[in-house]
A and B are shown apart, each in its own frame.
Chain A
Amino acid sequence: MEPSNACAPTRSCPPPKFVVDNVDGDIRPSHLEWQVIDTPSFQRLRKLKQLQMGYLVYPNATHTRFAHSLGVLKVMQRILDSGVVATDTQREDLRLAALLHDIGHYPYSHLLEGVDKVILTEERLDPAKEKSALGTGPAYPDHEDVGREILLHQPDLSRILGRERAERVGHLFARTEVADQQLSKLIHSSLDMDRLDYLIRDSQATGVPYGLVDINYLLNHVKQSPSGTIGISHKAVAAAEHLLLARSFLFRVVCQHKTTYGFEEAARQLLRRLRDRAQAGGEGYGVPKDGAEVLAIARSEKLRTFTDAFLDDIFVRAASSDEPDELIKILATAIVSRRPPRLIWEKHTFRKRQDDHNDGHLFQQECQLQLARLAAEKSILPGQFLVCDLKPLGFESRGSSMSKAEARKALEESEREEMIRVFEKPDSVEPVDIVDIKHSILHEIGAHVFRSYRLYVVHPKDDQDALVADLRQAVKHWK
């Protein structure tokens, strides 16, 4: 029999304890949720920083996926309390899915998860040289797939949840349940509310105020349509606009901060090199060779050590004097010794998404024409340059990368759950996308994306100012 949530938090049966959270106030997990929280698999989230290498710039940005997961549980509770129609089992499952939605995150989150996407500098610089776009082994799986694997195969969680519920909850947060349309809408639109927690949490931790959105007002104006879609009342349009602008600002200022991003790009280049070396039979210091190895970790006791410290140890080993590859050592030393990659050149654009391809081509061409020569002149390795084409930041469009027009064209009803929906009038039956509300700021700027192109140099020594000045001079004419 499936373990039951015997003591749901009610007045007559109060939970034995609660969490006092600096963002969400009192969080009251149910008895079953406390059992989940107390498992080693869940406690691992205490050792995964939410903002990856953000702490190297913002000293207090050491908050974790653990705190965020509890916060998302609270957000889900408030959504469910707003009159959402769902069965008791669906409510319990949705709460568990909210709590467990980040259970599969990798060490330093997206840094390691995205290693298959990384282009090495030398691959960028030599267009004529043949190189493989795909490895032969399975790609690293998405953290949601890793999460499902953990839920189904880690004994601590599967014992508490039972096989059936573990499968259901795994399907919910990975959004893989072949569900009826109403439930599907409820899942997608409610679970996407997790940004309400991380925006405020990240803002408070960094001291960057842009993410301080009016979470109470938004959650107090959540409504559900007869077809199951969750949206906000027309009264909360301004709060929703603030949320979307805040997300863009926070990404730009915190996640794409020049120093944080430089460290993270150095780490991505390092991890891809170590992974490739491990695949070729060399020393990878434990970087998983492929997706199969990641899933094996997710199923085993090794999961408990698959934390930020797992990568910290790899960085230290790669920076040691025993490391034979000079470039690997330089990249690792920069991270371990906190020698930030230095920004040599940078360009920002803010334009309609479909108009911005040319900037990327120009940047790529300049790098291909000049960086190998500059590296030779300055006696540095080409791989010490970090060529960065940053992810475009949009406002309200899928993946922050599509314009409003593209999004509208692309997204049939089945593809739109992630967008913020608004019940435009008091008597509106179904909500519309916020970009479709003519008086919304998003109606005008939703088609635009902010984008940055950057060139860094990594140099682990202290006396790099002269080199950096020379390089800046050499590329100052780039358009």
Chain B
Amino acid sequence: MNRRQIALKLVLAELDVPATMDSFGDRLILQKAVYLAQQAGIPLGYHFCWYLRGPYSRDLTADAYSTLSETPAGWTLGEALRQKLARLSDFMRQLKAEPDPVKAYELLASVLFSVNTGQAQVGDCGRITQLMRAAGKDFTQEEVNGAVQRLRTHSFLPAA
């Protein structure tokens, strides 16, 4: 187990994201939760590619499998990061309570990825929707608008 794998396990625990890989939904939520956490300033350092369901990290998948059954001892994240994670954890609890949390995570992470990689402007929801459709996603413009608004509210994107 390396130091980043230990950090991953601690971050997932703080975010209350189950470190389980049993279903596709579990794995998708884990990927998108870590992507959102990194974008919020949790320095795990995973490289995220674009796969068919949005941002995805191969190393994260491998690390998640490596860390599932191990419990690190003596390791912490530091107070500043824990406070940041507590705020994120509230946000992720809201996502978990949605009727379709997997879709909520996929939508938010995908929209944020398209903006943060410079493929769409923050306010250009039309372009974002167009990109999502080209990538085979069925998000409506209203859903994309809502996602941008939500990402702004939670400081993932700059306010309008």
Contact = CB atoms under 8 A, between A and B. Distances in A.
B78 interface: yes
Interface in B124-160: 131-132, 134-136
Nearest to B64: A410
Given A131-B75, A133-B72, A178-B131, A410 B49 contact: no
Given A171-B117, A177-B119, A116 B52 contact: no
A140 interface: yes
Interface in A382-434: 389, 398-402, 406, 409-410, 412-415, 417-418
B3 A145 contact: no
Contacts of B99: none
Interface in B20-52: 21-22, 24, 27, 42-52
9 contacts: A130-B76, A139-B43, A178-B110, A178-B117, A178-B134, A184-B50, A399-B59, A410-B65, A415-B56
Contacts of B75: 130-133
Interface of A: 114, 116-119, 123, 126-142, 144-145, 167, 171, 174-181, 184, 188, 290-291, 353, 357, 360-361, 389, 398-402, 406, 409-410, 412-415, 417-418
Nearest to A148: B117
Contact of B77 (A123, A133, A361, A409): A133
Given A131-B76, A188-B51, 16 more contacts: A119-B1, A130-B76, A133-B6, A134-B44, A134-B81, A136-B81, A177-B50, A178-B110, A179-B50, A180-B135, A290-B43, A291-B45, A399-B59, A402-B61, A402-B62, A414-B53
B43 A291 contact: yes
B74 A131 contact: yes
B10 A133 contact: yes
A400 B69 CA distance: 18
B101 to A, nearest CB: 17
A140 B45 contact: yes
| Size class of the B contact interface (CB-based, 8 Å) | 35 or more
B36 to A, nearest CB: 16
B65 A176 contact: no
A176 B50 contact: yes
Contacts of A137: 43
B65 A402 contact: yes
Contact of B21 (A134, A135, A353, A410): A410
B61 A142 contact: no
B80 interface: yes
Nearest to B43: A139
Given A176-B48, A179-B50, A415 B61 contact: yes
A221 to B, nearest CB: 26
